[in-house]
A = this chain, B = another copy of it.
Amino acid sequence: MRLDQLPTPQVLVDRPRLLNNLGRAQAFAAAAGARLRPHAKTHKSPVIARWQIERGAAGICCAKLGEAEVFAEAGVDDIRLPYPVNPSNAARLMALMDRASMSIIVDHPRVARGWSDAMARAGRTLDVLVKVDVGFHRCGIDPDAPGALDFVRAVASMPGLRFRGLLSHAGHGYHAASEDELASIAAKELEILTTLAARAKAAGVEVAELSVGATPTLRFSAKLRGLTELRPGNCAYFDRTQVSLGAAAVADCALTVLATVVSKPAPDRIILDSGSKTLTNDQARGIHKAPGFGAILTSDLSAVDDSLLIERLSEEHAVVRVTGSTTLEPGDRVRILPNHSCVVSNLVDTVRLVEDDRVVDTLTVAARGKIQ
């Protein structure tokens, strides 16, 4: 099937770009001497997870149990949830442990005790890592707090838990002002983890793993020594934010949205059929914060058409401001690079794998919407 035979809007994934990106992530892990464990949230596809594992990935990450259930069902047998899953979900996690090697993070005494109690009661052992806040200030223990080492020691001694190591996510890299800042975030992250690990080891706690994961800092973490695991997600597809962060070129971005011009109410305004139900209202983040809700690409898909600005979205409309003039008329089609590819794949049941102007396969976004 050719692209022009598809109804729109349609989420497309360029297969050559995707496969190139998968290999590149694996090469970063090899350079770091670390295992690669991609976060599957970006593609939510067991087929792509399989391709990642075939290229050397040690397993995958998911955020929620519902996602892990989809990938375990599809045969992925090593799944880490770098998410503070609540122990109220113990029955579901134990069912998963029968099918796959599972691990989670803990960052709170009450949660760690809850998991310990549930596992000890069932006579089972759950692999856990302690989540460390390296500056993003979302989840994670404060490594400088007086109780940080005590928490690690407590977790390592809890029945039903097997302490594996420390894990972090440098999500503040998305707000970096320069590539130098990204490099320094990656270096600081390693320093925080190794310092806490050294203190834990001095206290008699074995720390087998130091795991980090975020696409913006990936290329900088890859140059460091001492990490055991990299968990990037977005680098399978990339997006406009990653281009802005210097993590990818436009020509690396695998996921685009095919949209149709549905109206041209004024010479300087065209309307596309891709609204927030396709692109989301996520803003572009990154060093060079670009305005608009995604970027319309030039016809060779290697650059952004700066004469077209996706100024606002309704659920089913994109309002595009035209600078100068455009030959686009209703019925014409464009390709859009979204600000954030992970949330776009979460909106559709399938993505089309494409090569040039041909659809070569249709992938089910099997873990779409698995928020629980």
Contacts and interface: CB of A to CB of B under 8 A. Distances in A.
Interface of A: 7-10, 41, 63-64, 83-89, 92, 107-108, 110-111, 114, 133, 137-142, 171, 260, 262-266, 269, 271, 273-274, 276-278, 280-283, 314-317, 319, 329-331, 342-343, 346-349, 369, 371-372
Contact of A281 (B85, B282, B369): B282
Nearest to A372: B7
User: In the complex this chain forms, how many copies of it are found?
Assistant: 2
Contacts of A278: 371
A266 B137 CA distance: 9
Given A107-B265, A110-B329, A9 B372 contact: yes
Given A277-B371, A282-B276, A371-B347, A331 B114 contact: yes
Contacts of A171: 314
Contacts of A114: 330-331
Nearest to A88: B331
A104 to B, nearest CB: 11
Given A139-B263, A348-B371, A372-B10, A331 B86 contact: yes
Contacts of A140: 265
A7 B89 contact: yes
A347 B280 CA distance: 11
A6 to B, nearest CB: 9
18 contacts: A7-B92, A7-B372, A10-B372, A64-B316, A86-B273, A86-B330, A107-B265, A108-B264, A108-B330, A110-B329, A138-B319, A139-B263, A140-B265, A277-B343, A280-B280, A280-B281, A281-B281, A347-B347
